[in-house]
């Protein structure tokens, strides 16, 4: 896939390869083992410098916490579920939980989720789409 057709990453910790496949990138501290999204030089947990190793983040995890957003900026459809997910293998990531009813009865803590990548609906000046990560329920592969 050439650069003209390749989508753009909506955030720094999203990598889109030459074939247009998206993945999450992070860093693991060799000193304390902390895992964080994005490429970092200094560990936010133990402040070790030069000990952060790049890694690919997991695409599965569990809901740590969430909130149902009922008010937002003009043009943003509400309600929606904003969640923080503990990723399998380490690290946590905020994002939007899709394809669930935005009600406490439909969402549980520790609910298994998968990371999916979707078009944000926004376009760059050259017309290329932006892609972001989202979460979907993994139970029963709904």
Long-range contacts of 103-106 (CB under 8 A, 24+ apart): 103/68, 104/68
The pLDDT of residue 4 is 65
Task: Return per-residue pLDDT of the chain as tens, 142 residues.
Answer: 556 678 999 999 999 998 889 999 999 999 999 999 999 999 999 999 999 999 999 999 999 999 999 998 888 899 999 999 999 999 999 999 999 999 999 999 999 999 999 999 999 999 999 999 999 999 754 4
Q: How far apart are CA 131 and CA 11, in angstroms?
A: 9
Q: Is the peptide bond before 95 cis (omega within 30 degrees of 0)?
A: no
pTM score, whole prediction = 0.88
Number of H helices, E strands in the chain: 0, 10
Q: Is the distance from CB of 135 to CB of 85 less than 8 angstroms?
A: yes
DSSP 18: T
Provide the pLDDT for residue 64. Answer: 98
- Rounded Cα distance, 27 and 4, in Å: 29
79, two tokens: 């309600």
Q: What does the pLDDT read at residue 141?
A: 45
Residue 134, pLDDT score: 97
Residue 83: exposure state from Cβ atoms within 10 A (0-12, 13-18, ≥19):
buried
Q: How far apart are CA 62 and CA 97, in angstroms?
A: 11
Q: Give the pLDDT of residue 142.
A: 41
């Amino acid at each position: 896939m050439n650069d003209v057709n390749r989508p753009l990453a909506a955030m720094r910790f999203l990598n889109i390869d030459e074939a247009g496949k998206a993945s999450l990138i992070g860093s693991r501290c060799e000193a304390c083992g902390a895992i964080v999204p994005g490429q970092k030089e200094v560990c936010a947990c133990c402040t070790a410098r030069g000990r952060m190793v790049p890694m690919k983040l997991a695409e599965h995890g569990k809901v740590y916490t969430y909130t149902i957003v009922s008010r937002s900026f003009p043009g943003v459809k509400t309600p929606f579920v904003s969640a923080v997910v503990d990723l399998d293998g380490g690290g946590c990531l905020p994002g939007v939980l899709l394809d669930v009813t935005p009600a406490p009865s439909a969402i549980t803590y520790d609910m298994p989720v998968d990371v999916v990548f979707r078009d944000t609906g926004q376009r760059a000046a050259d017309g290329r789409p932006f892609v972001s990560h989202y979460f979907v329920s993994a139970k029963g592969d709904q």
